[in-house]
Amino acid sequence: MRCWSGLCLGLLALAWQPALSAPNPVAESVDSAVTQWMKAYHIADAEVAVALHKNLVGSYDHGWKPTERHPIASLSKAITAVCIAGLVDDKRLAFTDTLGTVLAGYFKRNNGANAPKDPRFTTITVEELLTHRAGLVDNAFDDANDHSVSASFKTATQAMLESDPGSKMSYSDSGYLILGYIAQVLGNQAYSNVCGKVFTRLGMPANAGVIDDTLVPRAPNGGWDISAQDYAKFLYAFDKQSGVLGPTIRQWLDALPGKQVYGLGTFMKRTARGTQYFHNGLVHHHKPNYPKTGGSFFFVNEAGYAAVVIFSGENVPKTYGALQKAVAAAMTTEAAYDVPGTPSSEAAVPGDGKTAKKP
């Protein structure tokens, strides 16, 4: 072959380059569903990421890069829950521990002036907080006037309970706020430092997620900012392959009664193939200087695929419902279970996300 030496070298280099990997069909299907949903509901910006076990297999820019941090609202609860799970695994906390035991020192301060207004408050257990069965009202803290997790917790102690602890499930941001305060007390550090360690346990940078400056008082239940890519990596914590959740936590999750339950900051749906995890987040800032709205949603299927969508724009129930249904449908096709070691069963029940009624 006769050619200029530089051109020959260039051709040889191209010949030795590895072929580009083919797009992951599940990730492509999720992004296609999100793209159609954005068009139908006039969503301005979104970022999408899909992982399989610990590896990203697709990420997509729809005005927001999938590496950009944005508020994830109630998806923050899973971060707090995995943080609490670590304390349980380390035997520093137990599911049956009551607030009266864990926070005894707090309630005795100032000659008992810190005692909760409702005596039932001290009987609430860690398990009841995790599963939204603590009897708490949804928001027993003050977004406008509380300026820290500690301040929000103090306000929450002065609210009357909605029902007896353990009597029924009632979704409550207050419960996860209290869990964050427990982590802060046991860790003897700010909540963000204690629970930020969940990222390093997964081999991620400690600052993969950060607390939004405008949402510090509700950080444990809705204050994290993180990218779609990093949240998809974080969801590997729920994968049995990761080992992040120890035997005690796994046994507890398996023992929760019912086909659909609320566990570690996430809804769980048991099917013939295993367990699906999903949750949505409603981004709505109450402060006038931060008038952003939007939302977030994740879905993990039984084969280990995890999809994350973070978006800006209208977030009414109809919009959320359509997103959840579209993503869940893409994540429960037969292709989404074409993973070695995943059971194949015609009896598997695809999730539609409809039961995630609250952000």
Query: Which has the minimum average pLDDT: 122-126, 216-220, 254-258, 346-350?
Result: 346-350
Mean pLDDT for 153-181 is 96
Does 84 share its domain with 204?
yes
Reported as a pLDDT band with limits 50, 70 and 90, residue 113 is confident
Does 171 share its domain with 293?
no
Mean pLDDT for 40-46 is 94
Residue 330 belongs to domain spanning: 22-68+227-359
In sign, the C-alpha dihedral spanning 78, 84, 86, 89 is negative
Residue 13 in any domain: the answer is: no
Does 172 share its domain with 239?
no
More confident site: 127 or 286: 127
Residue range 180-230, pLDDT digits in tens: 999 999 999 999 999 999 999 999 999 999 999 989 999 999 999 999 999
For position 288, what pLDDT does the model report?
52
Are 101 and 182 in contact by the 8 Å Cβ rule? The answer is no
Residue 28 in any domain: the answer is: yes
DSSP character at residue 128: H
Q: How many CA atoms are closer than 13 Å to the CA of 70, on its beta-carbon side? A: 28
pLDDT at 348 over 50: no
Does 283 share its domain with 348?
yes
The enclosing domain of 156 has a CATH number of 3.40.710.10
pLDDT at 142 over 50: yes
Residue 256 in any domain: the answer is: yes
Give the H/E segment covering residue 187: helix 173-187
DSSP character at residue 242: T
Instruction: Classify strands 274-284 and 45-52 as parallel, antiparallel or unpaired.
Output: unpaired
Q: CA–CA separation, 133 vs 305, rounded Å? A: 29
For position 314, what pLDDT does the model report?
75
For position 292, what pLDDT does the model report?
65
Does 195 share its domain with 160?
yes
For position 106, what pLDDT does the model report?
94
For position 12, what pLDDT does the model report?
40
Residue type, 345: S
Q: CA–CA separation, 134 vs 153, rounded Å? A: 15
Reported as a pLDDT band with limits 50, 70 and 90, residue 289 is low
Give 309's strand partners.
48, 297
Does 238 share its domain with 170?
no
- pLDDT averaged over every residue in the chain: 88
Query: At what angle are helices 173-187 and 76-89 packed, to 10 degrees?
Result: 40
The enclosing domain of 61 has a CATH number of 3.30.450
Q: Terminal CA-to-CA distance of the chain, rounded, Å? A: 65
Residue range 319-328, pLDDT digits in tens: 999 999 999 9
Does 235 share its domain with 354?
yes
Q: CA–CA separation, 193 vs 116, rounded Å? A: 27
Mean pLDDT for 109-115 is 83
Residue 187 in any domain: the answer is: yes
For position 285, what pLDDT does the model report?
55
Reported as a pLDDT band with limits 50, 70 and 90, residue 117 is very high
Query: At what angle are helices 317-331 and 25-41 packed, to 10 degrees?
Result: 160
Residue range 75-111, pLDDT digits in tens: 999 999 999 999 999 999 999 999 999 999 999 987 7
Residue 182 in any domain: the answer is: yes
Give the H/E segment covering residue 186: helix 173-187
Neighbouring C-beta atoms of residue 20, cutoff 10 Å: 6
For position 214, what pLDDT does the model report?
87
Q: CA–CA separation, 269 vs 324, rounded Å? A: 14
Residues composing the chain: 359
pLDDT at 345 over 90: no
Q: Is 130 left (phi over 0), alpha (psi -120 to 50) or beta?
A: alpha
Reported as a pLDDT band with limits 50, 70 and 90, residue 284 is low
pLDDT at 17 over 80: no
Reported as a pLDDT band with limits 50, 70 and 90, residue 5 is very low
pLDDT at 256 over 50: yes
Does 183 share its domain with 231?
no
Give 296's strand partners.
281, 310
Does 190 share its domain with 94?
yes
Q: CA–CA separation, 168 vs 279, rounded Å? A: 20
For position 140, what pLDDT does the model report?
87
Helices (H), 191-316: 191-195, 197-201, 219-222, 228-234, 247-255
Are 281 and 72 in contact by the 8 Å Cβ rule? The answer is yes
Residue 17 in any domain: the answer is: no
For position 337, what pLDDT does the model report?
96
Cα-Cα-Cα-Cα dihedral of 287, 289, 292, 296, to 10°?
-50
Number of domains making up the chain: 2
More confident site: 180 or 358: 180
Does 88 share its domain with 199?
yes
